[in-house]
Amino acid sequence: MKSAEGKVLHRPLCLGNWKMNKSPQEARAFCQELKSLLEEAQESHSASARPSEAGRGAQGAKPLAQMVVLPPALSLWAVAESLQGTEIAYGGQNCHFEISGAFTGENSPKVLQELGAQYCLVGHSERRKLFHETNDLCAQKLKALIELGLTPILCVGESLEERQSGQTEALVLEQLREALKLAKGDGRFKTPGTQGSATPQGQAVPGGGFPLIVAYEPVWAIGTGQVATVEQVGEVHQLLRQELDQLLGPELSQNIPLVYGGSVKPENGAELLAAPAVDGFLIGGASLDAKSFFALAQLGA
Ligand code: PGA
């Protein structure tokens, strides 16, 4: 992601949404393999580094995309243990907006935080469609996560019928505006510079280092193998960027990465990453295999 002046602000993001896949045991095996792949890449880079760079170890390694694993809730503990001390982050796929209470079967965002999660998906299309999550509910969840200092990954995207009837723009903008409506007015979500003497982003920058991530996921591209074109992705991302600039101000907006999701694979990743305003990926199917997830992360190198 680049600032208006063309300065690189952060590494691309590679977010792996496992959905309802991988038991704790399988999750441990995946993390082990991913850590080995990362170590090998760092070692081979150090070995080929110029003498002046040798000995810098992992710090001298070529930067990969920031990897974030999003396991199902019951496997989060295993992931937290396995990834301890690594630079691979993790998060939840969903949470309630209350910290605790009589909400049978729900997961608290506070528990995510205690387990070291830095991120949580909000409003994935499967949650919206299969579990009837509304924009209002997304707004409450987003606010709760921001208050706890976790980075929400807000998913927006249109169905095939909505695209074919020309509703894509209006729909994704509505999803974005509605989800932000509670957090926007909240003290933590102000533009930098309005927050007194704290960090440049005041208290707004949570554990993940971003106030928010927005994932554009056209529903028709999720799990279908039908990937959106670079033009389609670029158009929507530019639209989302303009809206974030307007809603939150350009300074805060430039700290909010925009990632694309929907049938992303190592074979199509490079092309998508080169599309305008694309800061990384939200990956479903291809994130279940450590090698293909890592191959996508290496595209960010
Ligand atoms: P997919 O899923 O990569 O399998 O299409 C993406 C997602 O649902 O986040």
List, as one string, the DSSP characters of 76-98.
Answer: HHHHHHHTTTSS-EEEES---SS
CA-based torsion, 25, 27, 31, 34: positive or negative: positive
Classified as helix, coil or strand, 231 is helix
What average pLDDT does the segment 91-110 reach?
97
Q: Would you state the pLDDT for residue 209?
A: 79
| Percent of the chain with pLDDT strictly greater than 90 | 74
Classified as helix, coil or strand, 122 is strand
Residue 276: band (very low, low, confident or very high) from pLDDT cuts 50, 70, 90 = confident
* Distance, CA of 217 to CA of 204 (rounded, Å): 25
Ligand 1 lined by 218 (C-beta under 6 Å): no
Answer yes or no: is pLDDT of 53 > 50. Answer: no
Task: Give the nearest ligand 1 atom to 263 CA.
Answer: 5
Q: How far is the CA of 30 from the centre of ligand 1 (A)?
A: 18
Asked if residue 255 lies in contact with residue 294, where contact means CB atoms within 8 angstroms, the answer is: no
Residue 217 known to be catalytic: yes
Q: Would you state the pLDDT for residue 8?
A: 61
Ligand 1 lined by 262 (C-beta under 6 Å): yes
Which of the pair, 199 or 45, is modelled with greater confidence?
A: 45
Answer yes or no: is pLDDT of 201 > 60. Answer: no
Ligand 1 lined by 118 (C-beta under 6 Å): no
Return the half-sphere exposure (C-beta side, CA atoms, 13 A cut-off) of residue 270. Answer: 5
Q: Would you state the pLDDT for residue 44?
A: 80
pTM of the model: 0.89
Query: Which residue, by CA, sits nearest to atom 2 of ligand 1?
Result: 284
Q: How far is the CA of 105 from the centre of ligand 1 (A)?
A: 24
Q: Would you state the pLDDT for residue 43?
A: 84
What average pLDDT does the segment 230-235 reach?
95
- Count of Cβ atoms closer than 10 Å to residue 42 Cβ: 17
Lowest mean pLDDT: which of 93-102, 176-185, 198-207, 288-297? 198-207
How far are the Cα atoms of 44, 178, 186, 294 from residue 15, in angstroms, in the given order? 24, 23, 27, 11
Residue 234: band (very low, low, confident or very high) from pLDDT cuts 50, 70, 90 = very high
Q: Would you state the pLDDT for residue 206?
A: 45
What average pLDDT does the segment 2-25 reach?
83
Residue 106 known to be catalytic: no
Q: Classify residue 183 by burial, with Cβ atoms within 10 Å: 0-12, 13-18, 19+.
A: buried
Asked if residue 273 lies in contact with residue 28, where contact means CB atoms within 8 angstroms, the answer is: no
Which residue of 69, 125, 217, 272 sits with most ligand 1 atoms within 8 Å of its CB, as the best mutation to test the pocket? 217
- With b for 16 or more beta-carbon neighbours within 10 A and e for fewer, the 199-218 pattern comes to eebbbbbbbbebbbbbbbbb
On average, the pLDDT of the chain sits at 87
Q: Would you state the pLDDT for residue 195?
A: 33
Q: How far is the CA of 8 from the centre of ligand 1 (A)?
A: 27
